[in-house]
Amino acid sequence: MVAQAICHLLSQVSAAVDMVTSGEALVASVRDSPPDVVIADVSIPGVNGIDAMKILHDEGHKTPLVFLSVHDEPSMAAMALRAGAMGYLPKSAAGEELLRALGDVVEGRTYVASTLTARMAADPAPVQPRLTPSHLRVLELVAQGKRPKEIAGEMGLSVRTIESHKYMMMQELGVRTTLALLRRAKEKGYISA
């Protein structure tokens, strides 16, 4: 429903729109025909928005990405910006604000919704390890006792990708074993069990 409203809004300003429903489709669409700007949700199905953006950046695509997300926490906006996003707005943002954000981003400026910048300034978050939504999902499944092969099957990723996520989490949290990873993740509040 939100995606259709965005398409309608953009069609009023003569923008060509390609709507996709997964991170994989997003990556394929940008590879096939790079747009002026991408609007995505952090929680897009399949490969999440942040990881899709990283894939495209790693391949050399310079298309700026604006996240329009249900996640309206300043920490999520900060994570997306650190990962390379050019804009971040909650889905509750008005259409005019989205158009303003897109204009800024196309001109090379970063845009963060005013509601988020005010909260970020008022309550600066302590430096937290940077774990993506995919990392958190892998962590959750590891905590459930699942093996990399099971996790790969459940997430539709390769075993190598799961091992890579696990390694990156260990590096980020400063640990060397799976048990230490789970302990540290529990200490930091990433998992409850």
Amino acid occupying residue 83: A
Q: What is the dihedral of CA 163, 64, 3, 72, to 10 degrees?
A: 70
Compute the chain's Rg from CA coordinates: 18
Domains in the chain, please, with CATH?
Answer: 2-122 (3.40.50.2300), 133-187 (1.10.10.10)
The pLDDT value recorded for residue 151 is 93
Q: Which has the closest alpha carbon to 3: 36, 40, 43, 51? A: 40
Angle, nearest 10°, between helix axes 95-106 and 2-11?
Answer: 60
Residue with the bigger pLDDT between 95 and 121: it is: 95
Mean pLDDT, all residues of the chain: 82
> For residue range 29-58, what is the model confidence (pLDDT) as tens digits?
999 988 888 888 888 888 888 888 888 988
Burial, 74: exposed, middle or buried (Cβ in 10 Å; 0-12, 13-18, 19+)?
buried
Alpha carbon distance 97, 141 (integer Å): 37
Residue 12 in this model has a pLDDT that exceeds 60: no
Residue 145 in this model has a pLDDT that exceeds 90: yes
Residue with the bigger pLDDT between 2 and 157: it is: 157
> Residue 1: which pLDDT band, with cuts at 50, 70 and 90?
very low
Mean pLDDT lowest among 81-90, 105-114, 125-134: 125-134
pTM of the model: 0.59
> Residue 16: which pLDDT band, with cuts at 50, 70 and 90?
low
Residue with the bigger pLDDT between 79 and 142: it is: 142
Alpha carbon distance 51, 144 (integer Å): 23
> Residue 10: which pLDDT band, with cuts at 50, 70 and 90?
low
The pLDDT value recorded for residue 97 is 85
The pLDDT value recorded for residue 154 is 92
Residue 182 in this model has a pLDDT that exceeds 80: yes
> Residue 121: which pLDDT band, with cuts at 50, 70 and 90?
low
Residue 2 in this model has a pLDDT that exceeds 50: yes
